[in-house]
C-alpha cells in the first residue's frame, strides 16, 4: 500500500507495481475466449510504448484524448499510456448514443482519439480531433520505450463524464492525487491479495468499476479478468472456470446467482416449485427464519458446484440499498460489499462488508473522506478525493460547492458508530399539494407486500403542478389480478401514517428501470409516465 501513497501519478504506480509483481498476471480475458493475458511487466511496457507513440504524434501535455474501447485488457493499458504521455484521458462508456459521444468530445475539446477497430464515424464531425489511433496501433510492439512525461500529483489525470436523464453531461476533473487518495483509502478497508481474480463486468469507463474493479485489484497484485460477454450464464461460467474471487456485481449476475440458489432451495424442499416467482425479500426472510443449518450447508454446496468455490466477495454498489441481497448472497457463502460513491469523489466515499454493517448502511466513510450532514440532511464531502470542479463549467462548479464542501445531492445520516445511511436524493424530493416535502425512501417501506415483486414511489404530476407520490409496482408471479393488487395497496395505504400515504398505484408490466449498478431510476420512471399521460390526454382531446 505504501507504493500507492508514494506514487506521484497512476503511471508511476503501474511502474512500481511492475517492479513488485513482474511476471504475475495483471490483466486477462475469460479462459473460454482464448485471448492472451498481460503480466504486470507487459502492462508497463505497453504503457510506455503507447505513451511514446502519443508523444511522437505531436500531442502535448494537457491535451485531452478520448478512449472509446470495449472492456478488454488493452483498456487500462491504453488509459495509462494516455496518462503517461502527460495527457488527460476522457474515457467513454461503450454503447453510449453517438450524439452523446460527439457532445463529450466537443465539450472536452479532445485532440486525440484511441478507439477499437470501428470507424467512430460519429466523431468525424468533431473538428478538434487531429490524432486517431486504433488501440492495436497504439500498443503494437516495436516502439522505443521512452520515459514518458512526469506528471505532478495535481495534474489532471482524467475527465469523467456524468450524465443524468435530463441534463447535459458534465465533465468531472480528477487529478492523480484525487484518484490515488481514493485508492489508498479503499485499500485500507478491503482485503484483496496477489492470487485473487476480479471479474470486471461493468464498463471499464464507469468510474466505480475503474477504481474498485480494476486499479484497486491491480494495486493489490491481483488479476483483472474481462469476461468478453454480457450473458449472465457465461458470467457464472467465468466465475467457475477463471476461479474468480471478487466482482462488482450487476443486477443480471445477481439474478442469475439467485436463480442458482432457488434451484437448490427447491431441490432441498425449502421452497415449493410453484413459489419460484416469489419476491427476493420473501426468500431472504425464509432463509433467515426457517432453514436448518444442515440444509443450508447442503444448499450452499449445491450452488458452489455450479458457480465454483473461489468467489467470496461481490461489491453491490447501487443495489446495496436493497437489504434483501446480502442474506441471499450469504446463503451462497458470498460476502456482500456495500458502498456509496459519486464521480465527484473519485468515486468511493464509503465501503464495508454487509455482515459488519447495520442493515441498510453503506459502510463507514473511507479514512480520507470527511462527511458532514448539512442543510436538509444533505451529505457534504471534503478531502483529497474530492474534485476541484467541472471542466469548462464555472457555474456548475460554484453550485456544487458550499464553503469548500462538495454538495452530493444525496440525503443521509451518520449513526453514533460512524456508519453512513442514505435516505434519498434531494432531486427526488416530492412536494405535495399540502406543501409538504416527502422523499420516496420514506414512503416505500410502508408498501412491502408478497403480491409485489418490486415496487418504488415516484411522483405523478398533479392538476396544480404539485407532486402526487405514486406507488409503481411489478406484481409477483401469479399475482396479476388487478383487483387483488388494488386491495393490497388500499390496505397498506390505510395502515401507513397519513403523511406517508401514496396517492395511487400503477402496475408495471416490465421490471423497474435501473441504472447499471442497480439503482432504481425513479425520476426516469416518473418522467416517462407523466409524458405518456400528457400525450394520451392530448390524443383524447
Partner 1 sequence: MNTTTIEQELRQALTEACQKELGPIVLEDDLVHELELDSMASLRLLAVVEKRFDIRFPDHLLGEYRTLQKLVDFISTAQEEAL
Residue ranges in contact with partner 1 by CB under 8 A: 228-234, 251-252, 255-256, 277, 477, 509-511, 513-514
Beta carbon nearer to partner 1, 191 or 477: 477
Pick the closer one to partner 1 by CB: 231 or 402: 231
> At which residue does the C-alpha cell 458502498 appear?
339
Residue 514: CB minimum distance to partner 1, A: 8
Smallest separation, CB 303 to partner 1 (Å): 16
Contact 345, 381 (CB under 8 A): yes
171-191 CB burial, b ≥16 within 10 A, e <16: bbbbbbbbbbbbbbbbbebbe
Nearer to partner 1, 285 or 516 (CB): 516
146 or 229: CB nearest partner 1: 229
The residue behind cell 483483472 is 224
State the minimum distance, in angstroms, from the CB of residue 518 to partner 1. 10
d(CA 222, CA 193): 6
Q: Which is nearer to partner 1, 43 or 253 (CB)?
A: 253
Nearer to partner 1, 2 or 510 (CB): 510
The per-residue DSSP string of 35-84 comes to: ---EEHHHHHHHHHHHHHHHHHHT--TT-EEEEE--SSTHHHHHHHHHHH
Nearer to partner 1 by Cβ, of 205 and 256: the residue is 256
Instruction: State the pairing for strand pair 378-382/370-373.
Output: antiparallel
In the complex, what is the shortest distance from the CB of residue 27 to partner 1, in angstroms, rounded to a whole number?
A: 19
Residue with Cβ nearer partner 1 (251 or 459) = 251
List residues bridging with 112 in a β-sheet: 65, 131
- Annotate 339-396 with three-state secondary structure: EEECHHHCCEEEEEEHHHCCCCECCEECCCCEEEECHHHEEEEECCCCCCCECCCHHH
Choice between 85 and 328, CB closer to partner 1: 328
Please report how close the Cβ of residue 229 comes to partner 1 at its closest, in angstroms.
5
DSSP-derived secondary structure letter, 520 = B
CB of 489 to partner 1, least distance (A): 22
Residue 410 CB, nearest distance to partner 1 (Å)?
25
CA neighbor of 473 nearest in space, from 438, 526, 510: 510
Q: Least separation, in Å, of the C-beta of 311 and partner 1?
A: 18
Nearest approach in angstroms of CB 91 to partner 1 is 21
Residue 378 backbone dihedrals phi, psi, to 5 degrees:
-70, 135
Provide, rounded to whole angstroms, the least separation between the CB of residue 281 and partner 1: 18
CB of 252 to partner 1, least distance (A): 5
In the complex, least distance from residue 477 CB atom to partner 1, rounded to whole angstroms: 5
Three-state secondary-structure class, residue 103: helix
Nearest to 205 by CA among 220, 217, 192, 215: 215
Nearer to partner 1, 167 or 510 (CB): 510
Q: Cβ closer to partner 1: 150 or 233?
A: 233
**Quick check: helix, strand or coil at residue 226?**
strand
The residue whose grid cell reads 445511511 is: 421
Neighbours of 79 (CB within 10 A): 27
Rounded CA gap, 492 and 151, in Å?
Answer: 59
Residue nearer to partner 1 on the CB measure, 169 or 228: 228
Asked if 45 and 190 touch (Cβ cutoff 8 Å), the reply is no
Instruction: List, in order, residues 6 or more apart from 443 with CB less than 8 Å away.
Output: 457, 469, 471, 496, 500, 502
Task: Give the residue from 182, 161, 179 showing the smallest Cα distance to 170.
Answer: 161
Q: Which distant-in-sequence residues (6+ apart) come within 8 Å of 283 by Cβ?
A: 258, 261, 262, 265, 271, 324, 328
Amino acid at each position: 500500500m505504501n507504493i500507492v501513497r508514494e506514487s506521484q501519478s497512476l503511471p508511476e504506480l503501474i511502474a512500481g507495481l511492475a517492479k513488485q509483481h513482474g511476471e504475475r498476471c495483471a490483466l486477462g480475458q475469460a479462459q473460454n475466449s482464448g485471448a492472451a493475458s498481460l503480466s504486470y511487466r507487459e502492462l508497463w511496457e505497453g504503457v510506455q510504448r503507447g505513451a511514446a507513440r502519443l508523444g511522437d504524434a505531436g500531442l502535448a501535455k494537457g491535451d485531452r484524448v478520448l478512449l472509446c474501447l470495449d472492456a478488454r485488457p488493452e483498456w487500462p493499458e491504453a488509459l495509462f499510456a494516455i496518462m503517461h504521455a502527460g495527457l488527460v484521458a476522457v474515457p467513454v462508456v461503450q454503447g453510449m448514443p453517438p450524439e452523446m459521444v460527439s457532445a463529450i468530445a466537443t465539450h472536452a475539446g479532445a485532440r486525440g482519439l484511441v478507439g477499437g477497430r470501428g470507424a467512430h464515424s460519429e466523431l468525424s464531425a468533431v473538428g478538434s480531433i487531429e490524432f486517431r489511433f486504433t488501440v492495436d496501433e497504439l500498443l503494437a510492439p516495436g516502439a522505443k520505450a521512452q520515459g514518458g512525461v512526469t506528471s505532478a500529483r495535481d495534474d489532471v489525470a482524467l475527465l469523467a463524464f456524468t450524465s443524468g436523464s435530463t441534463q447535459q453531461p458534465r465533465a468531472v476533473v480528477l487529478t492523480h492525487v484525487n484518484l490515488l487518495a481514493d485508492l489508498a483509502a479503499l485499500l485500507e478497508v478491503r482485503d484483496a491479495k496477489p492470487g485473487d481474480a476480479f471479474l470486471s463486468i461493468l464498463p471499464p469507463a464507469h468510474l466505480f468499476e475503474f477504481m474498485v474493479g480494476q486499479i484497486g485489484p491491480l494495486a493489490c497484485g491481483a488479476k483483472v479478468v474481462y469476461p468478453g460477454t454480457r450473458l449472465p450464464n457465461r458470467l457464472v461460467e467465468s466465475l467457475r472456470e477463471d476461479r474468480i474471487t471478487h466482482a462488482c456485481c450487476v443486477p443480471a449476475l445477481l439474478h442469475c446467482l439467485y436463480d442458482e440458489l432457488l434451484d437448490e432451495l427447491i431441490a432441498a424442499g425449502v421452497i415449493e416449485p410453484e413459489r419460484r416467482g416469489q419476491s427476493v425479500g420473501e426468500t431472504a426472510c425464509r432463509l433467515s427464519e426457517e432453514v436448518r443449518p444442515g440444509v443450508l450447508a447442503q444448499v450452499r454446496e449445491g450452488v458452489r458446484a455450479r458457480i465454483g468455490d473461489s468467489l467470496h466477495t461481490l461489491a453491490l454498489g447501487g443495489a446495496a440499498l436493497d437489504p434483501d441481497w446480502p442474506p441471499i448472497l450469504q446463503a451462497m457463502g458470498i460476502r456482500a460489499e456495500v458502498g456509496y460513491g459519486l464521480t465527484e469523489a473519485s468515486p468511493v466515499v464509503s465501503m464495508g462488508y454487509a455482515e459488519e454493517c447495520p442493515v441498510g448502511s453503506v459502510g463507514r466513510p473511507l479514512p480520507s473522506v470527511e462527511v458532514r450532514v448539512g442543510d436538509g440532511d444533505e451529505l457534504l464531502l471534503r478531502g483529497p478525493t474530492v474534485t476541484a470542479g467541472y471542466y469548462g463549467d464555472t457555474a456548475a462548479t460554484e453550485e456544487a460547492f458550499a464553503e469548500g464542501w462538495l454538495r452530493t445531492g444525496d440525503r443521509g445520516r451518520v449513526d453514533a458508530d460512524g456508519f453512513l445511511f442514505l435516505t434519498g436524493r434531494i432531486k427526488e424530493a416530492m412536494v405535495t399539494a399540502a406543501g409538504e416535502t416527502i422523499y420516496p425512501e420514506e414512503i416505500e417501506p410502508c408498501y412491502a407486500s408478497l403480491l409485489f415483486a418490486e415496487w418504488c414511489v415516484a411522483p405523478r404530476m398533479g392538476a396544480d403542478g404539485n407532486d402526487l407520490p405514486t406507488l409503481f409496482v411489478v406484481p409477483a408471479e401469479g399475482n396479476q389480478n388487478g383487483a387483488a393488487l388494488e386491495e393490497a395497496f388500499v390496505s397498506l395505504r390505510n395502515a401507513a401514517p397519513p403523511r406517508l400515504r401514496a396517492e395511487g398505484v400503477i402496475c408495471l408490466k416490465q421490471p423497474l428501470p435501473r441504472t447499471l449498478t442497480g439503482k432504481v431510476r425513479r425520476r426516469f420512471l416518473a418522467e416517462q409516465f407523466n409524458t405518456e399521460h400528457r400525450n394520451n390526454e392530448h390524443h383524447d382531446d
